[in-house]
Structures are given as C-alpha cells and as structure tokens.
A and B are shown apart, each in its own frame.
Chain A
C-alpha cells in the first residue's frame, strides 16, 4: 500500500511569511507525528496526534508553530512569521493504534531566506 506522503517536497519562503506543510499518513493509522530534522542531526519531536486531538505538543518550539488534524487523517503543520532558523526538513510519521512502529514520510525541506 501507499506509504506516508508529504507535500510539498521543497518549500522556499521569505522571512516573515506563513507556510503550511501537509502530511498524508498511511491509511488506517490513527497516530501521527511531526518531527524536525536539521542538517547532520537526528529528527526532533514536535507534536503527536492520536486521532484528531494533539496528545502531546511539548516539542513545538514556540507559538509560531501549530498543527491540526481535523478529520483524524491528513495533518497540516503551520508556521507563522517564519525565521531563518526554521529552515530544516520537516518529517511526518504515522503508526497503527497500539503499535510502536513509526513509518516516516519523505519530508518537506523548508528554506527560509
């Protein structure tokens, strides 16, 4: 079946702009995670959804970052007033309810000029 997909694959924006990053999890996966990966580093946790609700948003760096998953499937990560330090690859992962195994998407490379 289809894996986790993310769009766009690349996003270039200017400092101060608003961006939205989309994640389509594997069908039937109730858990969805967002991570951020800077160059040469491991992914860092941002937020975790179980169904429609954010079960844990402790990794969001500040209130410029927000994520939604209104119907329990597709999720959108929203970043307001982007800063150069937000440049990174944003990864999405999903898993089945009760499973530890997380399957990752290809990521969105965000570049803030």
Chain B
C-alpha cells in the first residue's frame, strides 16, 4: 500500500518568513495530493490540493509543487502569520476503488513567532 513520509515534524519561523513542508510517497499510482491544516482539537481542513497532471498550484500565500518522477510534493507558505500556526498534514490517494482512501503523513507542527 501507499506510504507517505513528511518532514520536518516541527517547524518554527518568524512572522513574515516563508515555511516549506515536504512529503514523499511510495505508490506511483497515486494521483491526488491534498494538504490539510488542523488546529488543536479541531477537524482537519483542506487548504490546497494538487493532481498529478499539474506540477504547481498556488492560492494566495499558499502553493504546492509536485514532482511525479521523484514522488515528492511540497507545501509553501509565504508571508507567514501567527494564525498559520497549526499542524499541517500531507496526504496521497489513488484514482478509484479501494485507492480512494487518503494516506496521511505524520504531520508538521508549524509555529509562527510574532
């Protein structure tokens, strides 16, 4: 089955700086890669996603890049703000049938220091 590795496990940045979180996946059949933000005691919330036919996607201060050959994808947050502090999870899933389940990374605790 799919295996997703996520790094770093913790990340502290100064407000206004950029943050980068990286993930690798093992199953070349995976084709959907979402990122979720989870605040303490809250539900995971989708912040951005990318499909394997696209190399990069951007939404305001958030961007995701995908390298299918290397089987890795990254989340980039620019101009970080204290409210960006949370745990971020990457995930991967396949196209259909039993592969629709999401396999998650172990999470990155992002702290934005004011």
Contacts and interface: CB of A to CB of B under 8 A. Distances in A.
A41 B106 contact: yes
Q: Range of interface residues on chain B?
A: 20 to 34
Nearest to A102: B102
Given A101-B34, A104-B43, A44 B97 contact: no
Given A91-B44, A100-B34, A106-B42, A42 B98 contact: no
Contacts of B91: 42
Given A42-B107, A43-B104, A45-B103, A103 B98 contact: no
Interface string A77-113: 0000000000000010100000011111111000000
A56 B91 CA distance: 18
A89 B100 CA distance: 21
Contact of B89 (A31, A42, A59, A100): A42
A75 to B, nearest CB: 15
Interface-centre pick from A33, A42, A55, A103 (highest chain B CB count, 10 A): A42
Nearest to B42: A106
B43 A45 contact: no
A106 B97 CA distance: 26
B20 interface: no
B100 A44 contact: no
Given A33-B101, A48-B101, A100-B93, A43 B34 contact: no
B43 A91 contact: yes
A35 B103 CA distance: 10
B104 A42 contact: yes
A100 B98 contact: no
Interface in B14-38: 32, 34, 36
A23 to B, nearest CB: 12
Given A33-B101, A100-B34, A102-B102, A40 B107 contact: yes
Contacts of A105: 43
B45 interface: yes
Interface of A: 4, 31, 33, 35, 40-45, 48, 55-56, 58-59, 91, 93, 100-107
